[in-house]
């Protein structure tokens, strides 16, 4: 069980009993930690599919800046 988070991270989900369920680094491109299995939940709800879509998008290379002459 997570009781405190490392510097640079913030809590983004808490269970009704106060257990930290998810953390994130808000300045990172994609840095999330969860205490559940979103791959199991994705089969039941599109909400959890978005977590994976966001991860894949974050893994794609950033578009190159347009060249200037």
For residue range 21-32, list pLDDT tens digits in order: 999 999 998 999
Is residue 29 a part of any domain in this protein?
Answer: yes
This prediction's pTM? 0.73
CA dihedral 58, 25, 19, 53 (to 10 degrees): -10
Residue 10's nearest CA partner among 21, 26, 28, 30 is 26
Please name the helix (run of DSSP H) or strand (run of DSSP E) that holds residue 32, with its range, or none: strand 32-34
Lowest mean pLDDT among 3-7, 15-19, 60-64: 60-64
Look at residue 1 and tell me if it is in a domain.
no
In a domain, 53, yes or no: yes
* Residue 69 within any structural domain of the chain: no
Q: Which domain range does residue 54 map to?
A: 10-58
């Amino acid at each position: 069980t997570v009781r405190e988070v490392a510097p640079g991270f913030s809590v983004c989900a808490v269970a009704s009993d106060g257990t930290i369920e998810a953390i994130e680094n808000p300045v990172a491109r994609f840095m999330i930690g969860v205490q559940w299995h979103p791959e199991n939940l994705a089969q039941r709800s599109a909400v959890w599919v978005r977590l994976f879509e966001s991860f894949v998008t974050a893994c794609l290379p950033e578009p190159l800046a347009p060249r200037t002459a």
